[in-house]
């Protein structure tokens, strides 16, 4: 009896501690987001009031202004650029990457292991090391300030790691499943689409999230090779402070647009990050 | 139904060692062949070459006389049951059963009708909406079988389809498989390492060892007329006893000596041996099945004296394990007349059922 209640007490103490720790971590992570959103909703006088006010009358003025900054250049244009470039480069990286990864996992040839490692190694250098050559290359083919330039660059940056990660996922699929489908009368390509791809869904989701986050947040190259037409949200945000002091409300409103889409995308894909899709396939 | 021929087929995964070597085997159209052999002897490799899942290193596989070596798996129109089920985990039972039909662009209603029909046959109708991971082993294996029989295939390839099931379920499903064979008459290539299952289910058994085909035939042939010592030892519910033997040529009538026993041989059997040029080569071994031995209390010239070591009850029979200077012998006797451990007994052999192997393990008394 005594030991039982002791165990129960220990257990609840542990639960309380765990819950407390979780609250601290979540609060710590969400607090900046809270500040960002509330600042965007505050009027200018509320923003600068000291001590900061916890209660205030929300206004959408900053959001309205954010749509019309830079002499009428709409934040939506930059948002559109970001979405287009992120979506295209993510689809390309995951699409091409899954095919390459499948080939590496299922059709080994002399040196295929070395090839896989070589592909990964293309990510070893810090991007800043090859920014200048990339810039020169894009300039010589007339791709400066185009969506295509960023799409190509982000695709190639993400491709290597997508291939590396998905190769492991494909290799983990019991080979009998694919053999069964071949014997059932499916072509290799159909086996890839109907058996292999659905079974690496968690891998697709994970690599899509990481690819998208990289493309969405990338600033260094975007800032150098885009000026207006293809500039993305991070470039836009950085332009803020330079052009007109800092309009905090508007800055935070744009920040909200910089964070919200990728968060929603990640939350949406997160439910695919499940383990054990192949349980029950063999044995 | 197709007729399948293996013509001198070899499979080497690495250049040095062969998983299958010079295999020649014909499966007549509509017949049910079981391949039997110890683990690692190349059964699966053989089947996978036939299925098109593994390349053929040497030789030719022909189906109805047509060379199949280069034909892709998806074009061979075989149905296969995998040892470890290989169900599609992201599809439910219905989806799994429908896959082979969908590959053939069958209309939806037709698919639904066939799936229902097969599910009824295999008693999995109430599982159609479950995913494979929610099924028991027996149910999974039924789905695997169902996926194979759902299209009108003319050839079945089954790699130990009942390997992971408990004895009761195995018996049930093997009856089911045999019934399906009677019904569909498809040519079937079936792997197992359970000889009782092989005998129950097949028309013909092929025994393999170390990549080589040893012998084909029905169970009785394999038991009474094995080609070599391997088949003799591998086949049979109770292990055969192998004892050193020699032909006593100085006696008036031909005699076989096994240890101290001098067993008279009929003239006919003696001449069979005399025909064999290999006897002179030296070592001879006699193989005696436990049911070809009787145990007696009195000694005699043609009986082998032994001491009982172990008595193993097997139903209403008992297997007596007895040792002597010549080696170990097993005899099956009725339980009520079984001697006790420590007793001395005199074993008498049924001379017509003694097998004789030469130094290379070949059965020199083999009737062809
Ligand atoms: N993919 C492979 N690569 C290399 N060696 C292999 C491969 N598959 C099988 N082997 C080898 O070939 C030999 C025959 O294997 P196989 O799978 O055909 O045996 P099996 O008779 O089916 O055995 P089991 O009863 O255990 O299933 C074994 O020695 C095995 O190690
Ligand atoms: Mg096998």
| C-alpha to C-alpha distance for B168 and B173, rounded to whole angstroms | 9
Residue A47: its pLDDT value, please? 80
Q: Check A277 against B89: CB less than 8 A apart.
A: yes
The reply to whether B368 falls in a domain is no
Residue A280: its pLDDT value, please? 59
List C-alpha distances in Å: A267 to A33, A205, A262, B33, B77. 16, 11, 9, 55, 44
Q: Check A281 against B89: CB less than 8 A apart.
A: yes
The percent of residues in chain A predicted with pLDDT above 90, rounded, is 42
Among candidates B89, B134, B147 on the partner chain, residue whose Cβ is nearest the Cβ of A199? B89
Are B119 and B207 found together in one domain?
Answer: yes
Residue A1: its pLDDT value, please? 47
Closest by Cα among A280, A283, A234 to A258: A234
| C-alpha to C-alpha distance for B301 and A53, rounded to whole angstroms | 116
- The answer to whether residue A128 scores a pLDDT higher than 90 is no
Residue A54: its pLDDT value, please? 78
Low-confidence ranges of chain B (pLDDT < 50): none
List C-alpha distances in Å: A147 to A45, A205, A219, B126. 39, 24, 14, 54
Average pLDDT value for chain A:
86
Q: What's the per-residue H, E or C state across B297-310?
A: CCCCCCCEEEEEEE
Phi, psi (degrees; rounded to nearest 5) at A219? -120, -40
Are B174 and B153 found together in one domain?
Answer: yes
Are B155 and B252 found together in one domain?
Answer: no
Contact with chain A for residue B99, Cβ under 8 A? yes
Residue A279: its pLDDT value, please? 62
Are B142 and B217 found together in one domain?
Answer: yes
The reply to whether B247 falls in a domain is yes
| Sole residue written with tokens 């559109």 | A80
Are B260 and B219 found together in one domain?
Answer: no
pLDDT per residue as tens digits for the range B315-356: 888 999 999 888 899 999 998 888 889 889 999 998 888 888
For residue A194, give every residue at least 6 positions away whose Cβ sits within 8 Å of its Cβ, in sequence order, or none.
A181, A186
| 8-state DSSP, A193 | I
- Domain end among B225, B240, B256: B225
pTM of the model: 0.82
| C-alpha to C-alpha distance for B344 and A105, rounded to whole angstroms | 65
Ligand 1 atom showing the smallest separation from residue B46 Cα: 18
Are B113 and B68 found together in one domain?
Answer: yes
Residue A245: its pLDDT value, please? 67
Output the domain CATH number for residue B276: 2.40.50.140
Are B195 and B59 found together in one domain?
Answer: yes
Are B211 and B246 found together in one domain?
Answer: no
List C-alpha distances in Å: A121 to A97, A105, A118, A210, A262. 15, 18, 5, 18, 27
- Domain end among B208, B225, B242: B225
Are B156 and B289 found together in one domain?
Answer: no
* Domain that includes residue B270, residue range: 231-357
| C-alpha to C-alpha distance for A34 and A40, rounded to whole angstroms | 10
User: Beta-carbon neighbour count of residue B153 at 10 Å?
Assistant: 20
The reply to whether B362 falls in a domain is no
Q: Check A180 against B132: CB less than 8 A apart.
A: no
For residue A88, give every residue at least 6 positions away whose Cβ sits within 8 Å of its Cβ, in sequence order, or none.
A147, A151, A155
pLDDT per residue as tens digits for the range B269-296: 666 665 555 555 567 889 999 999 999 9
Are B339 and B195 found together in one domain?
Answer: no
Residue A123: its pLDDT value, please? 84
Q: CB–CB of B238/B232 below 8 Å? A: no
Centre of ligand 2 to C-alpha B37, Å, is 10
Centre of ligand 2 to C-alpha B48, Å, is 9
Output the domain CATH number for residue B95: 3.40.50.300
**Which residues neighbour ligand 2 (ion) by CB within 5 Å?**
B 44
Residue A173: its pLDDT value, please? 92
Q: State the Rg of chain B over Cα.
A: 25
Are B134 and B110 found together in one domain?
Answer: yes
């Amino acid at each position: 009896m005594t030991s039982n209640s002791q165990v129960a007490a220990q257990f609840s103490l542990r639960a309380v501690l765990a819950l407390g720790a979780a609250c601290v971590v979540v609060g710590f992570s969400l607090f900046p987001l809270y500040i960002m959103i509330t600042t965007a909703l505050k009027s200018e006088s509320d923003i600068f009031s000291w001590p900061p006010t916890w209660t205030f009358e929300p206004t959408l003025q900053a959001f309205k202004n954010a749509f019309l900054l830079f002499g009428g250049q709409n934040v939506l244009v930059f948002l559109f650029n970001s979405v287009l470039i992120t979506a295209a480069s993510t689809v390309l990286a995951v699409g091409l990457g899954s095919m390459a990864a499948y080939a590496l996992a299922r059709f080994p040839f002399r040196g295929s292991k070395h090839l896989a490692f070589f592909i990964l190694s293309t990510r070893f250098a810090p991007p800043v090391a090859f920014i200048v050559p990339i810039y020169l290359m894009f300039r010589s083919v007339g791709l400066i300030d185009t969506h295509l330039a960023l799409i190509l660059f982000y695709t190639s940056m993400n491709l290597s790691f997508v291939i590396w990660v998905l190769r492991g996922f494909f290799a983990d699929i019991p080979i009998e499943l694919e053999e069964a489908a071949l014997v059932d009368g499916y072509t290799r390509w159909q086996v890839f689409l109907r058996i292999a791809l659905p079974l690496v869904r968690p891998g697709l989701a994970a690599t899509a999230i990481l690819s998208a986050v990289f493309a969405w947040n990338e600033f260094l190259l975007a800032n150098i090779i885009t000026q207006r037409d293809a500039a993305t949200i991070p470039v836009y945000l950085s332009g803020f402070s330079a052009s007109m002091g800092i309009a905090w409300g508007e800055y935070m409103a744009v920040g909200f647009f910089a964070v919200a889409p990728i968060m929603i995308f990640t939350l949406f894909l997160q439910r695919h990050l499940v383990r054990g899709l192949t349980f029950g396939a063999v044995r | 139904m197709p007729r399948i021929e293996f013509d001198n087929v070899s499979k080497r995964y690495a250049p040095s060692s062969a998983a299958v070597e010079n295999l020649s085997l014909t499966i007549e159209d509509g017949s049910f062949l079981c391949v039997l052999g110890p683990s690692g002897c190349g059964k699966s490799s053989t089947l996978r070459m036939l299925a098109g899942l593994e390349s053929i290193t040497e030789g030719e596989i022909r189906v109805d006389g047509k060379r199949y070596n280069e034909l892709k798996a998806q074009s061979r129109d075989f149905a296969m049951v995998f040892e470890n089920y290989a169900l599609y985990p992201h599809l439910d039972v219905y989806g799994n059963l429908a896959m082979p039909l969908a590959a053939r662009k069958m209309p939806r209603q037709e698919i639904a009708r066939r799936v229902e029909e097969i599910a009824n046959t295999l008693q999995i109708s109430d599982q159609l909406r479950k995913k494979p991971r929610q099924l028991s082993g027996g149910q999974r294996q039924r789905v695997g079988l169902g996926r194979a029989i759902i299209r009108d295939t003319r050839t079945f390839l089954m790699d130990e389809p009942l390997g992971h099931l408990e004895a009761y379920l195995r018996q049930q499903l093997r009856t089911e498989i045999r019934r399906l064979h009677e019904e569909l008459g498809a040519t079937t290539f079936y792997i197992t390492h359970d000889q009782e299952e092989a005998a129950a289910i097949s028309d013909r058994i092929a025994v393999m060892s170390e990549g080589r085909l040893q012998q084909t035939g029905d169970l009785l042939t394999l038991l009474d007329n094995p080609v070599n010592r391997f088949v003799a030892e591998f086949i049979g519910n109770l292990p055969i006893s192998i004892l050193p033997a020699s032909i006593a040529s100085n006696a008036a009538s031909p005699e076989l000596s096994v240890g101290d026993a001098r067993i008279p041989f009929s003239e006919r059997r003696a001449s069979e041996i005399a025909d064999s040029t290999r006897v002179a080569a030296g070592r001879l071994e006699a193989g005696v099945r436990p049911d070809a031995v009787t145990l007696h209390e009195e000694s005699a010239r043609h009986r082998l004296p032994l001491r009982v070591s172990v008595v193993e009850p097997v139903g209403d029979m008992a297997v007596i394990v007895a040792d002597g200077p010549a080696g170990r012998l097993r005899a099956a006797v009725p339980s009520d007349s079984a001697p006790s451990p420590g007793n001395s007994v005199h074993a008498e052999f049924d001379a017509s059922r003694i097998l004789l192997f030469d130094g290379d393990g070949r059965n020199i008394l083999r009737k062809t």
